[in-house]
Amino acid sequence: MQNLTAASRELFSRSPDECFGSLDELYQRCLSDRDASEDRWHSPAELRPKASEGLLTLELGSLGIYRLNDWSFSQMCKLASVSKDTLNKLSPDTASRALLETLPYGEKPLQVLSLDRTVRSIHGTAYTRLHNVDLLNVVREFATDFQPPQKSKIGAGTGLYCGEQDMFVFLIDPLGWAEIEGEAFAPGFFLWNSEVGRRSVGIQTFWFQAVCANHIVWDAVEVVDFTRKHTANVRECLSEIRRHIERLVNRRDQRRDGFAKVMANAFKASLGDKVEDVAKVLARHGIPRDLGQRALKLAEEAGRFTIFSVVDALTRIAGEYQYAGDRAELDAKSSGLLALAAEGV
């Protein structure tokens, strides 16, 4: 089992304006960003850093002056092979002249993404953009039962985040609990992307036992990762991500149906008609004699010694234990009785 901390890291790094209360709110934000953003190709000669109104800005040919955000400024520094920390120490006028002298001026065009007179990103020809809303369309179509985890009591963390650099989505199916090797697990996944090249696009699916207030996913199994760089064929990842979500949903349905059949059989299947016969079954499964006698008295009140009534009695007894280790040990032995229901007792 693994403890997954990606959602917890996002929780502690996001500002309130990057947090969204529902998947629909996040979708509308991503849709708005896509529709309002403009993607243009410019020759390197058209990109001219300038000092304007006390700020370092970027002139895009005949389109005029655009502001730079932190990410696009970082990309400008990388293109010019100049330290971002160094330029931040200079005045806007000096910094603009430094960039003018160091920016490469080749023949290949540059891809500039802007929103409301602000440059969101600058890329070369090797980069292919994938919009956040395209990923969310896949989620809305194939993960209809999934929702964000409980809102964290720390900060504004919701599990749904989108800022100027990237998007991160944490969804679970709170009703998708199923049994895996005698223990209860529910399905969930992380999904991420960046429209501006801050990170790759990808998904991580898993089955988990608990999510704490810090959004750490505890005791995860069947963890599957898929990532893709923003290169020419990046849109092909939408089909792959759809397959990962469909596989998770199909596995959930299979397990949930199987678990329901086991429980239905547990309600009907009897461990025996006589106390002494049932006691022998409990002894074979490692239930101590004194605990077995207590459980049989409780189960007898239900009228029959069904698998469910006996397991329910043992679960109630385990709840009285002070130490978690003792409870877990008895629960593990009880789950062995449920396995009898799976065998069609």
* Residue ranges, the chain, pLDDT below 70: 155, 181-182, 257-264, 266, 301-303, 319, 321-345
What pLDDT does residue 327 have? 62
How would you class 97 by CB atoms within 10 Å of its CB: exposed for 0-12, middle for 13-18, buried for 19 or more? middle
> Would you give the DSSP letter of residue 343?
T
Query: Looking at the domain assignment, is residue 75 inside a domain?
Result: yes
Residue with tokens 């007894």: 317
**What is the per-residue pLDDT for 345?**
44
Domain boundary among 196, 230, 257: 257
Residue 239 shares a structural domain with residue 287: no
The answer to the question of residue 10 being in a domain is yes
State residue 154's pLDDT score: 73
Six-digit token string for 324: 């978690």
Positive or negative: CA dihedral 220, 145, 234, 59: negative
Residues 220 and 241 in one domain: yes
Question: 7 and 141: one domain?
Answer: yes
Residues 181 and 245 in one domain: yes
Q: Which residues form the domain of 194? A: 2-33+130-257
Strand runs labelled E in the chain: 2-4, 38-42, 47-52, 55-60, 65-68, 110-115, 118-123, 160-162, 167-172, 178-180, 183-193, 201-208, 210-211, 217-228
Instruction: With respect to residue 264, please indicate whether it lies within any of the assigned structural domains.
Output: no
Whether 271 contacts 294, CB under 8 Å: no
Residues 6 or more apart from 2 whose CB is under 8 A from it? 206, 219, 220, 221, 223
Tokens 């040919």 sit on residue: 61
Give the torsion through C-alpha atoms of 280, 285, 291, 294, to 10 deg: -60
Whether 139 and 95 map to the same domain: the answer is no
91: DSSP letter: -
Quick check: is 38 in a domain?
no
- DSSP symbol at 30: H
Among residues 197, 228, 257, the one where a domain terminates is 257
Q: What pLDDT, on the 0 to 100 scale, is given for residue 275? A: 78
The answer to whether position 22 is within a domain reads yes
3-class DSSP state of 119: strand
Closest CA to 212 of 1, 2, 6, 8: 8
Q: How many domains does the chain have?
A: 3
pLDDT (0 to 100) of residue 171: 96
My answer on whether 163 and 91 are in the same domain is no
Residue 324, classified by CB atoms within 10 Å of its CB into exposed (0-12), middle (13-18) or buried (19+), is exposed
Whether residue 224 is found in the same domain as residue 287: no
Q: What is the pLDDT of residue 92?
A: 92
Please check whether residues 217 and 137 belong to one and the same domain.
yes
The answer on 157 and 280 residing in a single domain is no
Of 257, 283, 318, the residue at which a domain comes to its end is 257
Whether 262 maps to a domain, the answer reads no
Q: Report the candidate in 60, 64, 89 with the shortest Cα–Cα distance to residue 77.
A: 89
In order, the DSSP letters of 204-218 are EEEEESEE-TT--EE
Report the distance separating Cα 294 and Cα 297, nearest Å.
5
For residues 92 and 185, membership in a common domain is answered with no
Q: Are residues 56 and 15 in the same domain?
A: no
Could you give the CA distance from residue 263 to residue 261 in angstroms, rounded to a whole number?
A: 5
Q: Name residue 217's beta-bridge partners.
A: 4, 211
Domain-located, residue 121: no
Answer yes or no: do 151 and 26 share one domain.
yes
**Is residue 124 in a domain?**
no
Provide the pLDDT for residue 131: 96
